[in-house]
Amino acid sequence: MKVVLIRHAKVNFKWKSWYTSEQFDKACKEYDQAPITDSGYSAPEGVYSSYYISALPRTRETAQRIFGERDYIATELINEVPLSAGHNSGIKLPLLFWNVSGRLQWYFNNPRQQEGRLQTGKRAMQFVNKLKEKNEDCVVVTHGFFMHTLVAELKREGFVVDNKSLKYDNGQCVIARL
């Protein structure tokens, strides 16, 4: 069984350098709905039985540009880990602050975030179990931050993972074999 993981294409969205908490939350929602930029991304040659995408539009757009029109299986199990402002502030703070504080809260399962690390792990586990049940070669177009949890879960379930990275670039492929 071969699973090709692909991070979605670059999103056509310009982040600002500074945000209030309300502005940051709004920007995160806008990013989730923004289209992707034109891409020259490709995937390893092969015959795949299924093509999975997240429920966020950027993964469908990426998959369509790489593989054309197909029956894609959309699932929220492989959505990006949602991010929101770590606290309420009317004062503008750097984008880096909002990103780091939100991800730290995610790591420590702080209820301020919509989802904590344990919930993300559970989603990844559910998805990997579905893949193992189907036992077929497939493509999964997902998101950069979530890919770390998904790759860890695949390894935990006995997959051998090639091309793992500390940071997944847009369009980057990771291959997992069982």
71 close to 45: Cβ distance less than 8 angstroms: no
Distance set, CA 68 to CA 5, 42, 63 (Å): 17, 11, 7
Share of the chain above pLDDT 70, in %: 99
Q: Which two tokens stand for residue 126?
A: 């559910």
Q: With left for phi above 0 and alpha for psi between -120 and 50, is residue 171 left, alpha or beta?
A: left
Mean per-residue pLDDT of the chain? 95
Domains of the chain plus CATH, in order, are 2-177 (3.40.50.1240)
Convert 136-149 to b/e letters by CB count within 10 Å (16 or more is b): eebbbbbbbbbbbb
Condensed to tens digits (0 to 9), the pLDDT of residues 56-88 reads 999 999 999 999 999 999 999 999 999 999 899
pLDDT at 115: 97
Which residue in 78, 53, 77 sits closest to 66, CA to CA? 53
Query: Average pLDDT for residues 34-50, to the nearest whole number?
Result: 87
